[in-house]
Amino acid sequence: MTNTPDLPERTPTSAPPRAEQSASVLDDSTYSRVLEPRGSGRLPLGDGTWHQLARAYVRVQLISQGAVFVLVLAAAIVAQAVTGFAWQWIPAGVVLLVTAIGIVITPRQARSFGYQLRRDDLVFRRGILWQRVVAVPYGRMQLVDITHGPLDRGFGIAQLKLVTAAASTGVTIPGLTQRAAEQLRDTLIDVAETRRTGL
């Protein structure tokens, strides 16, 4: 939008202004190595430093998914004991199976998330079985959204979502420490201000 020529001059050096000094905040109590698929045909990591999710994210996920698992199981058992029916095991079984798979893969999956703050764009990657890499130019960001539920707050983590005009961009960083999330948000907004482009 402010494509006017009186834009502040872009510094050709490594630009996200606070990214350097904030690296310690972004990497505080996170994983240190991005987990990749084993196959040699995988999407390569490339160079540059990847920032990762906070370790607490896995705990939050395990607790919440475990709670769902236990609750569904308990509800199904109670229903069985009270009514004597068995049909509730069909939906309950589906939910239990999905949750159990989630519990098993979450610790590995969480280590596959990564994001890089490059000079002009943010690169985001996730997934092991289904890998996905997205590059979002800073100027395209319309919105930076931070959410955290009660459990997230208890463990001090937050979810950060980048919204562009295209719904398919889909960049959501689920488990940052709250300090990292706020730091990242402010950095992104600062950078986006200077690199604003049209839709």
Binding flag, residue 142, another protein (CB under 8 A):
yes
Query: Per-residue b/e over 153-176, b at no fewer than 16 CB within 10 Å?
Result: eebbbbbbebbbeeeebebebbbb
When binding is defined by CB under 8 A, the residue of 70, 83, 94, 132 that contacts another protein is 132
Q: How many residues in the chain? A: 199
Nearer of residues 60 and 188 to another protein, judged by Cβ? 188
CB of 78 to another protein, least distance (A): 36
How many whole angstroms separate alpha carbon 164 and alpha carbon 144?
Answer: 9
Picking from 163, 162, 158, 155, the residue whose alpha carbon sits closest to that of residue 147 is 158
28 touches another protein by CB under 8 A:
no
Exactly one of 53, 58, 136, 176 binds another protein (CB under 8 A); which one?
136
Distance between CA atoms of residues 97 and 139, nearest Å? 42
The residue among 98 and 143 lying less far from another protein, judged by its C-beta, is: 143
Among 100, 143, 149, 154, binds another protein (CB under 8 A): 143
181 vs 178: CA distance, rounded Å: 5
- Name the residues that contact another protein, by CB under 8 A: 1-4, 6, 37, 39-44, 46, 120-121, 123, 129-137, 139-148, 153, 158, 163-169, 171, 178-179, 182-183, 185-186, 188-189, 192-193, 195-199
